[in-house]
Amino acid sequence: MTRLSVNINKFATLRNARGGNMPDVTKAALDCERFGAEGITVHPRPDERHIRYSDVRTIRPLVRTEFNIEGNPIPSFIDLVCEVVPDQVTLVPDAPDAITSNAGWNTLAHKDFLTDICRTFKSRGIRTSIFIDPDPAMAEGAAACGADRVELYTADYAAGYAQEREAAIARYLETAKAARSAGLGLNAGHDLSLENLAYFIRTIPWTDEVSIGHALVCDALYLGLEPTIAAYLAQIHKK
């Protein structure tokens, strides 16, 4: 059954815009769990413009569901992950100045690097996922790097959903099948929302986890956090 992991970066963005501790990011993480989220995702960046490394250290021992850290495996990130030992690390090739993640890894071109990183994290007992575009070759390449899972970058699916959802998901389905054939688990994230989530899960029901932050927090501004998490869980479990 697909799990919902809430990315709490946007809570930190709001806090950092004003300074102080409002909203309390740690409380937000624990409230998301209390309201039914089955995981918490954080994506610390070098400039700490949202989640800070100190947040990760504070939140890690308090989370009772699955804790997922995603980011570019630069040395400071590697050190942080090895220090706090999350349940899962998701490798994302985002540039330091990227507003948000905008592409997956080329797992063929970066095979040696990714293999070393996967080995490092897996030696600590951390499940390792590689963020990829919807391309079966990239899923097969991730398996060759020693990853446990891939996370499909779903921005193109979300962009094309309203116009022609069958076409928008076709490459994702093909890549998901390739990942399953390669023995990989499957995650998905980026621009998934109440509008497009249910169809994605129905089409690719072996998705292990979806990581959702921006849309969920936007919905929570109108609906409230607890009803919003319930609404996303309902979409995941919708028949």
In the annotation, is 237 catalytic?
A: no
Classify 41 in phi/psi space as left (phi over 0), alpha (psi -120 to 50) or beta: beta
CA 92 to chain centre: 9
Residue of 38, 66, 151, 190 marked catalytic: 190
What is the C-alpha to C-alpha distance for residues 187 and 143, in angstroms, rounded to an integer? 14
In the annotation, is 70 catalytic?
A: yes
Residue of 33, 38, 66, 70 marked catalytic: 70
In the annotation, is 195 catalytic?
A: no
Query: In DSSP terms, which residues pair with 151 in a beta bridge?
Result: 131, 187
Angle at CA 116, nearest 5°, toward 74 and 44?
25
Burial classification of residue 114, based on how many CB atoms lie within 10 Å of its CB (0-12 exposed, 13-18 middle, 19 or more buried): buried
Which residue numbers are catalytic?
43, 70, 190
